[in-house]
Amino acid sequence: MKGKDITKQLSATAVFTALVCIATISFTVYVPSTKGYFNIGETMVYTAAILFGPFVGGFAGGVGSMLADVLLGYYYYAPATLVIKAVEGFVVGFLSRKGRAFAKTYTKRELKFFTVEMGALVGALISLVGFLYYSGFVELYSGIFSTENPTSNFYIPAEFWFGIGALAVLMIGFLALVSEPEYGFTIISCIFGGLLMVFGYFLYEQFFLGVFAIAEVPINVGQMTVGLITATLIVKVVKRTLPQLKS
């Protein structure tokens, strides 16, 4: 039995390392001010961590994301990505596993309320950073590493960022209210892991790359939000289809 578990863990690690890499490179948006990029890799990092635990989530998140950086030419992010995404995946996997026990110590109402509060924190972060640094006239760049001349200029009102923040709160709150307590704690786990990712990249960009690090905070918060919403839905479908994964 133990040998079968090890084989399952190794197989899941290999599969999800590839899936994290593929998801990361499948859709990217270049961020000129930080020389980084938006991607949807968190979707698979969180899915791996929630389904198979902290070690699969940590390895697949770190190595899969690092490989994507190298393949896309963002080699200067690769060392940080290996550590940051590994920590993110490990934390999400660890907290989501512990969530089953923690969920029993709270009432269903308390857990849902706490999840909504965490969603409000994410929405407030998006709104604040967007309002302070991305309101007014902004420049749009298209194409990877096309940083010299903007493709277009347009105006973003402050209300836009408040709307995006409110949308994030509503989406996370909706998931919290319609999901079972176990999934509510899964959402909380993704938020904690995601905020560690946001903070990790901020420190790396600020002190090692010397770029305008705050510019990528809403990008990374967006990655976290897309990742937790999509991964939560994927996990619910997978566990319903393969109930043996619940054990």
Closest of 48, 181, 167, 171 to residue 109, by C-alpha: 181
Closest of 54, 144, 48 to residue 91, by C-alpha: 54
Number of neighbouring beta carbons within 10 Å of residue 242? 10
Mean pLDDT of each 10-residue bin along the chain, 247 residues long: 74 96 90 83 96 96 97 94 98 86 71 83 85 68 47 73 88 79 79 93 93 84 90 88 70
CATH number at residue 40: 1.10.1760.20
Tokens of 118: 């965490």
According to DSSP, the residues that pair with 139 across neighbouring strands are 153
**pLDDT for the residue 147:** 44
36 dihedral zone (left: phi>0; alpha: psi -120 to 50; beta): beta
**pLDDT for the residue 20:** 97
**pLDDT for the residue 41:** 95
Domain that holds residue 50: 2-246
Number of neighbouring beta carbons within 10 Å of residue 41? 28
Reduced to 3 DSSP states, what percent helix, strand and coil does the chain have, rounded to the nearest 5? 80, 5, 15
**pLDDT for the residue 186:** 84
**pLDDT for the residue 198:** 94
Q: What domain count does the chain have?
A: 1
**pLDDT for the residue 4:** 67
Tokens of 223: 């990655």
DSSP 151-214: SEEEEE-HHHHHHHHHHHHHHHHHHHHHS-HHHHHHHHHHHHHHHHHHHHHHHHIIIII-S-GG
CA 216/CA 77 separation, integer angstroms: 13
Give the chain's radius of gyration (CA, Å): 18
